[in-house]
């Protein structure tokens, strides 16, 4: 890692209150900037929401000394002053959270020879202007000096910067859903940067800090919100524009990061929670960069029994209102079409969970991904490969058999798959891909299946975000093409009884574990924490599948019976009701991961 390593801001430099330090205090400096009046089209929507959430999380965790700087109050002078005075008030062993939500930028390095690419990274403050520049920036060298001052004073720091500098999206962003905003300004190059009129001074402190590596500073740990090559958009969460990293970190600070419910958050728990929660919420579009952590204690709650988030998810609140849907490019009025889709309501304000482009037959998710295509035939997007790895981590040969009449995922040597889901009539589409009124009516049953699937996905989110099971891909997230191999790996289970199923892009239910038919006799239990690996290969149709894993303290026998009966069908509505009952009555840990597929180019 290169020195302070803030290539794509969204670094999380963390060292939380060490357990057992009864007299240590938690303090915070929270910065959020939506308004950039000197940058054309530079305003953001969710940065102030992020700052308010982080400040609230700090207060709930017991922090008494919190300075909040929003919009026009977030100047360089104010931030530097707040930092210096906070250090003076802090004692050895105290914890300081420094949170920033706003734009990031790259510009030519001030201390020559300190950056491999010759570029500094900086946080952009409210009064910044591009040409000529001014000093309303916090350079990475400034931040390194801040962190070194704190570390030398024995003060621990959690540095959360929900901003970015460069990169691209893992998958393309489609503006049919809404206009997206990114927390990054275009980089400044040497010619433009040389017009700086009053930039940050090159001080002895930041010259000395320019070569610092974060991992060399005692008490400082880091978590990257995104990979260097990625760019994360602002997203809608609970109807509000947010940065996913700040949102997940606030939940962790409030107590959701205490994965084993023992009243102490370790660095390993904090990192695991933030990573899994961001990846799940952003459907793989945002991939945090995480260090390997040892599991040292970071935080201690004074009275963990009374933590407000200790209770199970309320199934009454988890049961969604009608799913918000946008309909575009339809030859029939959207108001008429929505009346024929159950559990859906029409919206046009950018808050839709699903957007149906009726002309192209595509259904898009909140991040602009094509999650389903109602013009495509009903077959599966994945087939099982020849081995599955589970239990003791050893590869177990799969029996060779004919394709199952009830499972879309078949464990076989030759990964051929046949779906038995009853398809709706394939719409007749004109040569220019425009759907007629009759086509739209034929597509409505397919749209209903996708709506039912996403209603279930949205119902599960609060459970996933409360106590997630880690779900990762090998190789990591991207758009997987036809016949690509991909493995799904589930880990971090707190309970021994394991259940796994898939919701295909068209709403087909696939029961994957435990199977008790066709030569399988899967054990109900997997040792807690033992990874389960499912090897797959991609087949049409393309869109987004969701794999759902559940770890429970008792066997979910009623759910297993339901999954076995619904396997290969698209009766997601019945599965939703069974899951609501099981989740309300059992202690269940849930993991969920969306997997995207697309055509070969």
pLDDT digits (tens, 9 = 90+) for 7-21: 455 555 544 444 444
Q: What is the rounded CA–CA span in Å between residue 223 and residue 527?
A: 29
Co-location of 494 and 593 in the same domain: yes
Q: What is the rounded CA–CA span in Å between residue 287 and residue 148?
A: 28
Co-location of 108 and 211 in the same domain: yes
Query: Does residue 408 belong to any structural domain of this protein?
Result: yes
Co-location of 62 and 194 in the same domain: yes
Taking CA 476 as the corner, what is the angle to CA 473 and CA 477, rounded to the nearest 5 degrees? 95
Q: What is the rounded CA–CA span in Å between residue 431 and residue 315?
A: 46
Co-location of 216 and 135 in the same domain: yes
What residue has token string 């796994």?
A: 500
Query: Does residue 4 belong to any structural domain of this protein?
Result: no
Residue of 8, 6, 13 lying closest to 215 (CA atoms): 13
**Domain boundary, last residue among 273, 306, 339:** 306
11 vs 221 pLDDT, higher one: 221
296 within 8 A of 218, measured Cβ to Cβ? no
Averaged over 219-245, what is the pLDDT?
A: 78
Across the chain, mean pLDDT equals 77
Co-location of 139 and 173 in the same domain: yes
The tokens describing 493, both together, are 């289970």
Q: Containing domain of residue 344, as a range? A: 316-598
42 vs 272 pLDDT, higher one: 42
Residues 6+ apart with CB under 8 A from 3: 114, 115, 140, 144, 210, 211, 212, 213, 214
Q: What is the rounded CA–CA span in Å between residue 397 and residue 386?
A: 7
Query: Looking at the chain, how many residues does it have?
Result: 601
Q: What is the rounded CA–CA span in Å between residue 427 and residue 430?
A: 10
Per-residue pLDDT, 246? 93
What residue has token string 């002053």?
A: 81
What's the CATH number where 255 sits? 3.40.50.1460
Three-state DSSP at 237 gives strand
Cis-peptide into 475, omega within 30 deg: yes
287 within 8 A of 279, measured Cβ to Cβ? yes
- In this model, does residue 399 exceed pLDDT 80? no
Per-residue pLDDT, 340? 93
Q: Choose the weakest-confidence range: 51-60, 84-93, 386-395, 402-411.
A: 402-411
Query: Does residue 235 belong to any structural domain of this protein?
Result: yes
Query: Does residue 285 belong to any structural domain of this protein?
Result: yes
Co-location of 428 and 573 in the same domain: yes
Per-residue pLDDT, 160? 85
49 within 8 A of 302, measured Cβ to Cβ? no
Co-location of 432 and 292 in the same domain: no
145 vs 20 pLDDT, higher one: 145
**Domain boundary, last residue among 261, 283, 306:** 306
% of the chain at pLDDT higher than 90: 31
336 vs 173 pLDDT, higher one: 336
Residue 333 neighbours by CB distance under 10 Å: 10
Question: Which residues face 480 on adjacent strands?
Answer: 597
Instruction: Domain count for the chain, please give it.
Output: 2
pLDDT band at residue 263 under the 50/70/90 scheme: confident
- Sheet arrangement for strand 137-139: 104-108, 119-124, 137-139
What residue has token string 């790259």?
A: 106
Q: What is the DSSP letter of 133?
A: B
Residues 6+ apart with CB under 8 A from 216: none
% of the chain at pLDDT higher than 70: 70
Per-residue pLDDT, 382? 57
Co-location of 276 and 365 in the same domain: no
Tens of pLDDT, residues 441-453: 788 999 999 999 9
Co-location of 432 and 501 in the same domain: yes
The tokens describing 461, both together, are 């989110």
The tokens describing 151, both together, are 């570390």
Co-location of 341 and 289 in the same domain: no
Please report the sign of the dihedral spanned by the C-alpha atoms of residue 137, residue 141, residue 143, residue 146.
Answer: negative
Is 436 exposed, middle or buried, given 0-12, 13-18 or 19+ CB atoms closer than 10 A?
A: middle
Averaged over 94-104, what is the pLDDT?
A: 90
Per-residue pLDDT, 16? 47
Q: Choose the weakest-confidence range: 45-54, 86-95, 411-420, 471-480.
A: 411-420
**Domain boundary, last residue among 256, 273, 306:** 306
Give pTM, 2 decimals. 0.80
Averaged over 205-229, what is the pLDDT?
A: 65
Please report the sign of the dihedral spanned by the C-alpha atoms of residue 450, residue 451, residue 456, residue 462.
Answer: positive
């Amino acid at each position: 890692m290169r020195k302070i390593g803030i290539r794509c801001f969204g670094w999380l430099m963390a060292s939380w209150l060490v357990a057992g330090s009864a007299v240590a205090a938690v303090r915070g400096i929270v910065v959020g900037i939506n308004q950039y009046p000197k940058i054309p089209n530079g305003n953001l929507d969710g940065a102030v929401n992020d700052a308010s959430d982080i400040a609230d999380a700090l207060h709930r965790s017991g922090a008494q000394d919190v300075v909040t700087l929003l919009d026009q109050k977030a100047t360089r002078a104010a931030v530097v002053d707040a930092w210096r005075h906070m250090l003076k008030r802090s004692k050895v062993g105290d914890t300081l959270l420094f949170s920033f939500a706003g734009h990031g930028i790259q510009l030519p390095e001030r201390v020559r020879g300190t950056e491999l690419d010759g570029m500094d990274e900086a946080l952009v403050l409210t009064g910044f202007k591009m040409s000529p520049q001014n000093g309303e920036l916090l350079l990475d060298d400034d931040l390194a000096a801040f962190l070194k001052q704190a570390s030398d004073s024995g003060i621990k720091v959690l540095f959360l910067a929900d901003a970015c500098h460069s990169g691209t999206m893992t998958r393309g962003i489609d503006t049919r859903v809404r206009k997206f905003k990114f927390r990054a300004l275009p980089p400044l190059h040497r010619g433009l940067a040389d017009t700086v009129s009053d930039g940050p001074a090159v001080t002895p402190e930041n010259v000395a800090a320019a070569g610092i590596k974060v991992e060399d500073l005692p008490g400082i740990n880091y978590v990257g919100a995104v990979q260097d090559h990625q760019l994360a958009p602002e997203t809608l969460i609970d109807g509000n524009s947010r940065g996913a990293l700040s949102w997940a970190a606030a939940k962790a600070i409030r107590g959701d990061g205490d994965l084993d419910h023992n009243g102490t958050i370790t660095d390993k728990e904090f990192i695991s929670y933030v990573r899994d929660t961001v990846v799940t919420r952003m459907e793989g579009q945002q991939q945090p960069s995480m260090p390997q952590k040892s599991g040292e204690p970071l935080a201690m709650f004074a009275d963990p029994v009374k933590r407000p988030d200790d209770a199970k998810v309320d199934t009454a609140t988890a049961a969604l209102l009608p799913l918000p849907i946008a309909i575009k490019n339809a030859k029939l009025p959207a108001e008429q079409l929505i009346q024929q889709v159950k559990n859906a309501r029409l919206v046009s304000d950018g808050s839709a969970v699903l957007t149906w482009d009726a002309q192209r037959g595509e259904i898009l998710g909140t991040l602009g991904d094509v999650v389903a295509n109602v013009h495509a035939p009903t077959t599966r997007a994945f087939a099982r490969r020849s081995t599955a790895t589970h239990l003791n981590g050893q590869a177990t040969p799969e029996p060779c058999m004919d394709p199952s009449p009830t499972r879309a995922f078949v464990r076989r040597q030759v990964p051929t798959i046949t779906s038995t889901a009853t398809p709706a009539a394939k719409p007749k589409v004109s040569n220019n891909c425009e759907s007629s009124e009759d086509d739209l009516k034929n597509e409505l049953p397919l749209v209903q299946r996708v709506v039912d699937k996403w209603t279930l996905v949205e119902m599960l989110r609060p459970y996933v975000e409360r106590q997630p099971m880690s779900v990762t891909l090998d190789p990591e997230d991207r758009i997987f093409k036809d016949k690509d191999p991909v493995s799904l790996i589930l880990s971090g289970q707190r309970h021994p009884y394991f259940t796994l199923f898939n919701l295909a892009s068209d709403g087909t239910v696939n029961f994957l574990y435990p199977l008790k038919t066709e030569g399988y006799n899967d054990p109900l239990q997997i040792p807690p924490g033992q990874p389960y690996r499912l090897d797959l290969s991609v087949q049409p149709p393309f869109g987004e599948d969701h794999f759902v894993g559940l770890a429970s303290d008792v066997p979910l026998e009623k759910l297993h019976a339901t999954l076995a009966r619904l396997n290969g069908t698209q009766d997601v509505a019945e599965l939703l009701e069974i899951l609501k009952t099981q989740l309300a009555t059992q202690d269940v840990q849930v993991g969920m991961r969306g997997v995207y597929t697309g055509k070969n180019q």
